[in-house]
Amino acid sequence: MAIRVTSILVRDDVNTKWYWETDAGKIGLAAFTAYKKENYLDTNKASAETHSLSADKTTLTVIRDYENRGELDAWVAESTAVDRIKLASDYNASNGITRSSKGSGGISVFV
């Protein structure tokens, strides 16, 4: 069964950049995006994510769909994903950006 993961990121104001907008966040972004495309999107393990920004630009909602729970679990165990998620998480924590994620059916996830 497909799993939808919804992540909500909130920043205090627009002066705080999202991680991927920072110089550090741009490093390796192209390679990470290519890896995700080749190993998850092109193989139908996951579908392209959608991004929605609130009118005041302080809340970002990201929706990702995975083919099934096994593919989601594989993604969050991939060292490539883990490393990138950790960098973003550390940046968010240092800059007051909060993040919550939940999966369809009430499963608890962090991606």
Domain 3-106 has CATH 3.30.70.100: yes
Q: 């369809």: which residue's tokens?
A: 104
pTM of the model: 0.86
Amino acid present at 16 = T
Q: 């550090």: which residue's tokens?
A: 24
- pLDDT, tens digit, for every residue of 19-64? 999 999 999 999 999 999 999 999 999 998 999 999 999 999 999 9
Taking phi over 0 as left and psi of -120 to 50 as alpha, with beta for the rest, 100 belongs to beta
**Position 84 pLDDT exceeds 60:** yes
b/e for 36-51, b at 16 or more Cβ within 10 A?
beebbeeeebbeeeee
**Position 108 pLDDT exceeds 90:** no
Residue extents of the structural domains in the chain: 3-106
The confidence score (pLDDT) of residue 110 equals: 57
Radius of gyration of the chain (CA): 14
